[in-house]
Structure 1
Amino acid sequence: MIQGFKDFIMRGNVIDLAVAVVIGGAFTAIVTAIVDSVITPLIALFYKPSENGDIGPTFRGLHGDEVTFPLGNLLTAIISFLAVALVVYLVFVVPMNKWKERQAAKAGVVEEEAKLPTEAELLVQIRDLLEKQGSTPAPATRRSTEPPSPSI
């Protein structure tokens, strides 16, 4: 039972998920602070905040009231997501993949890349198949390397 649990934990998916959740939660606070103190003020240079504090373009609605599209919140969410995903990938996923490769190499499991045939090998195979079917192609004529003679 303990060995099964150990195999389940060491499979990698559980560890990747746990690390992503923990680091994502911790790193989100840092990214949010950076976005709030740097990116949002930069956006505020171009757009005046509404009464609600939303920063973005403001349009007059059908009923005469102003509607603000809060681009600051959207950019904060996008930048936070990308930053957290990048850190989790670089700090945890890449090392975990390298560790898995080392473990596979130690176990003797070496994945060979499928070697694709060359163009010449494919042409030979096609020729052999045509010969087997009995429909051999007409022999190719050699072209002369001499330039054509001018016609009068």
Structure 2
Amino acid sequence: MLKGFKEFILRGNVIDLAVAVVIGAAFTAVVNSIVSNLFNPLIGALFRADSLDSAFVWEIPTMDGSVAEVKFGAVLGAILTFVIVAAVVYFVFVLPMNVLKERAEARRQAGEQKAEDPETELTVLAEIRDLLSADRARQPDSQRTE
């Protein structure tokens, strides 16, 4: 039972997945910092707010007299974070992988075309037989040695 688990863990896919999770966590911290420290202040300045979280706040009075806040700016910040992460993942990982896959597929197809052409021993022997038959048919009867 432990042997199977060890093989599963040591497989390349599981290790690659673990590395991806660690890199993803670090990358998320970078993106959150960019959004919080660069984009939030810029957009907040445009809309006279401290950050996106305090921009586009809709206050709704509740039954008990307090106020509920609907924070559209926070949603905009989350969408902005998502777009940045999606763009980086696409341009850094997906696009290069697609190019590599296309090149590998082109090489594989070129290899298959070459593999279809080789003559087998049977084909070569059949061609020799046909040439000998044609040669015998051209020889006069007096030169034939049967």
TM, length-normalised to structure 2: 0.49
TM-score scaled by length of structure 1: 0.48
Q: Which has the higher helix share?
A: 2
